[in-house]
Amino acid sequence: MIDSAVVDLSRIQFAATALYHFIFVPLTLGLSWLLVAMESVHVLTGKEIYRDMTRFWGKLFGINFALGVTTGITMEFQFGTNWAYYSHYVGDIFGAPLAIEGLMAFFLESTMVGLFFFGWQRLSKPGHLLVTTLMALGANLSAALILIANGWMQDPVGSAFNPITMRMELTDFWALIFSHAAQAKFVHTVSAGYVTGSLFVLGISSWYLLKGSNIEFARRSFRIAAAFGLAGALSVIVLGDESGYAVSESQKSKLATIEAMWETEPAPAGFNLIASINEEQQSNNWAIRIPYALGLIATRSTTETLPGIREIRAENEARIKSGIEAVIALEAVRKEPQNAELMARFRSLEKDLGYGLLLKAYTEDVRQATPEMIRKAAHASVPPVSTLFWSFRLMVGLGLAMLALFALAFWSSARNNFQQKPWLLKWALFFIPAPWIACEAGWWVAEFGRQPWTVFGILPTHLSTSSLSVADLYGSLFGFVGFYTLLLVVEMYLMFKYARLGPAVLQPNKH
């Protein structure tokens, strides 16, 4: 039997390192394009203040980039150390975009980062702008390839299971690259990064204005961040809708959980704005609802029905029973791989193989599964509701608040009166952490909402881990959390230090 403690600790460790790593990623994505915007104005106008803006915000970008790389390297190694069977099972597919990311996107980005910092006196203005643009493209291409890999875990298209090698194999590379889930996830995630970078610049610029220092520098930075942030915030909402639509196509259990929709409703389903959730009774004690909203947003129709959690669990219970036969058929094929009749039977049941494997959390031999085990597996096939329900609403609520902030900041920039609105500047300053909280909540929804699968519908999480001891996992978990916390402290110290110095940091004798 699989040790549940090993599975839980492996999940906690990966979640901890991923959440730490993603503290650094969105700022890199957002700041990179803000640097392009600032340097473009410098090249077009020749005004040195825009060069200083590019160099100053670029210094903060560099600190963040270095720590992001440090935390990101660990992520890929964990696939081999903590998730060995997952790596064996899907390595032919998952490894392709990650290899391209490492060999192409990351090297492009890291090379351009070096040229960005050391090329100011060696490159022409257009040449350096090209470097900055390629640096931003590299960062976003890196994100795209990683999110393509993650998107495949959410919706495993362009692949097939080989019962002889016991591995998933890539059958259509372009289906992998252009899958709806991957593309929706990419555009939504990078837009959130643009909002993060914009609010970072907007908040620090507001702090300068409140202090009455670096006025012209802060005014111009504020204006660029307000415009870029407004575009980013609008994109997050529009592309978040697209991401939700992709979930409704491939992960109906995640959608029903996010919305605490226990029963299947007539189309179009209503949206639970807030609710008191009772997971034991599988119902909501009360809810404030918006009629028809969920059905219209998630299906973009008035006739398509969205299944509720009870119906999904009942359907999954039937698939688990079919999956038992699929596991038995697979074992037969493994014994007689040349038997065409056995292979045909397995292929007819293959779509439910992953659901049969869910029973491995309760019994070594699925033939011995009791009705109670089947019910438990079906119940666990939908993740806990409350955490996802409120995490999603935290993300959306912060997103709408940031949209309002950027809209007001942009309007005030257009009217050139934001300096006379200390309440707006304070809002921007104190709201700097908001995009990080929203991003982390969004990733929690995306990843926790996929449970109990590492690859949705195919590979259960409890079968994906390495053969490690609990002591090993505790040691590495505390080691990573301690080291990453230290890196976060270093990041915060350096960011605060150079933000306080402001543009004076560009003069070597000032720091």
Among 225, 180, 167, 200, smallest CA distance to 418 is for 225
Tally of residues, the chain: 511
- Token output for 160: 């097939």
pLDDT at 391: 94
3-state SS, residue 278: strand
* CB neighbour class for 46 (10 Å; exposed up to 12, middle 13-18, buried from 19): exposed
Cα separation, 367 vs 353, in Å, equals: 14
What pLDDT sits at residue 98? Answer: 85
HEC secondary structure over 107-121? HHHHHHHHHHHHCCC
Could you tell me what percent of the chain has a pLDDT over 90? 64
Instruction: Provide the pLDDT for residue 35.
Output: 96
Kindly report, residue by residue over 120-173, the tens digit of the pLDDT.
Answer: 989 999 999 999 999 999 999 999 988 999 999 999 999 999 999 999 999 999
Residue 510 · residue 504 · CB < 8 Å: yes
* Burial letters 275-309, b for 16+ CB under 10 A, else e: bebeeeebbbeebebeeebbbbbbbeeeeeebbbb
**DSSP character string of 224-237:** HHHHHHHHHHHHHH
The answer to whether the CB of 139 falls within 8 A of the CB of 29 is yes
Q: In the numeric block, which tokens belong to residue 442?
A: 């969004």
Q: Give the tens place of pLDDT for each residue, 183-218.
A: 988 899 999 999 999 999 999 999 999 998 889 999
**Tokens 């901890």 map to which residue?**
16
Helix and strand numbers, DSSP H then E, in the chain: 18, 6
- The distance from CA 436 to its chain's CA centroid, rounded to whole angstroms, is 12
428, two tokens: 């921007």
Q: What is the DSSP string of 386-443?
A: HHHHHHHHHHHHHHHHHHHHHHHHHHHHHHT-GGG-HHHHHHHHHTTTHHHHHHHHHH
Residues 89, 246: Cα–Cα separation, whole Å:
25
Interval 36-95: pLDDT, tens: 999 999 999 999 999 999 999 999 999 999 888 888 888 878 888 889 899 999 888 888
- How far is it, in rounded angstroms, from Cα 327 to Cα 457? 14
- Domain ranges for the chain, please list them: 10-86+181-251+385-503, 256-299, 309-380
Judge contact between 56 and 107, C-beta under 8 A: no
pLDDT for the residue 103: 80
Provide the 10 A C-beta neighbour count for residue 509.
5
Q: How many CA atoms lie within 13 A of 79 on its CB side?
A: 16
pLDDT score, position 79: 84
- Residues 312-332 have a mean pLDDT of 95
- Cα–Cα distance for residue pair 361/370, rounded to 1 Å: 13
What distance in Å separates the CA atoms of residue 82 and residue 6, rounded to the nearest whole number? 9
Strand partners, 284: 277
- pLDDT value, residue 415: 92
Long-range contacts of the stretch 123-127 (C-beta < 8 A, 24+): 125/42, 125/43, 126/43
Residues 6+ apart with CB under 8 A from 417: none
50 and 41 Cβ atoms separated by less than 8 Å = yes
How far apart CA 239 and CA 220 sit, in angstroms, is 28
